[in-house]
Amino acid sequence: MSSGPGLPAGTGRAVRSPPVKVSQDGVVGRTVVRMAASPTFARVAPSVVPRLDRLVHRLTSGRTTMSAGMVPTVLLTTTGSRSGEARTVPLACVPEGEVLYVVGSNYGRERHPAWSTNLMVTPRARASFGGRDYDVDAHLLTSAEKEEAWPRLVTAWPAYDVYVERSGRDLRVFRLSPA
């Protein structure tokens, strides 16, 4: 049995998942969420935030990322849909037991993120979350599944609603399950 969040290697017994650390309460938290929903952030963040998240992830031996103080973050490695090469991107996620939910928000920009297209072509990926690395299978949520999950996703990151409005896109939502 593969090891994943909630599963120690080789035991097959579920244990408690890492706690969800969403500190968006208070003036600082609300300010950060407002900033993250701004058009300026959408222009600047894609070139800055992923690099810092990957750097902090590497410096902490996979234990955390810069963004983890605001929202749980997974480093997801997909297979490039055109190149066939491994592509790693940090993503906000909502953990529920062994499962992680990720949203293809692309900071509210008009195009779907490349990682979401990669998962649609090759749904097997690699996740690094909670200090563990493991294979996952991605499932693109149906409209009904997404409608049921959306309130939990927006609770974790309220900017998702702004991203939908600004982008005009139906954001792709994936469930990542341990393979």
Structural domain boundaries, residue 57: 26-178
Query: What contacts 50, CB < 8 A, 6 or more positions away?
Result: 89, 90
Residue 43: both structure tokens together: 């222009």
* 122 within a domain of the structure (yes/no): yes
pTM: 0.74
Residue 16 pLDDT: 32
* 115 within a domain of the structure (yes/no): yes
* 155 within a domain of the structure (yes/no): yes
Q: Sorting pLDDT into bands at 50, 70 and 90, what band is 12?
A: very low
pLDDT of 62 > 70? The answer is no
Q: How many domains does the chain fold into?
A: 1
* 84 within a domain of the structure (yes/no): yes
* 3 within a domain of the structure (yes/no): no
pLDDT of 176 > 60? The answer is yes
One-letter amino acid at 74 equals V
* 93 within a domain of the structure (yes/no): yes
pLDDT in tens, 31-46: 666 777 767 676 776 6
pLDDT of 156 > 50? The answer is yes
Q: Sorting pLDDT into bands at 50, 70 and 90, what band is 131?
A: confident
* 169 within a domain of the structure (yes/no): yes
Which residue in this structure is represented by tokens 């208070």?
Answer: 26
pLDDT of 4 > 50? The answer is no
Using the CB atoms, write b or e for 5-40: b if 16+ within 10 Å.
bbbeeeeeeeeebbeeebebeeeeeeebbeebbbee
* 81 within a domain of the structure (yes/no): yes
Residue 155: both structure tokens together: 């609770």
- Coil vs helix vs strand at 14: coil
Q: Sorting pLDDT into bands at 50, 70 and 90, what band is 15?
A: very low
Q: For position 130, which CATH number holds?
A: 2.30.110.10
One-letter amino acid at 159 equals A
- Which is higher by pLDDT, 10 or 23? 23
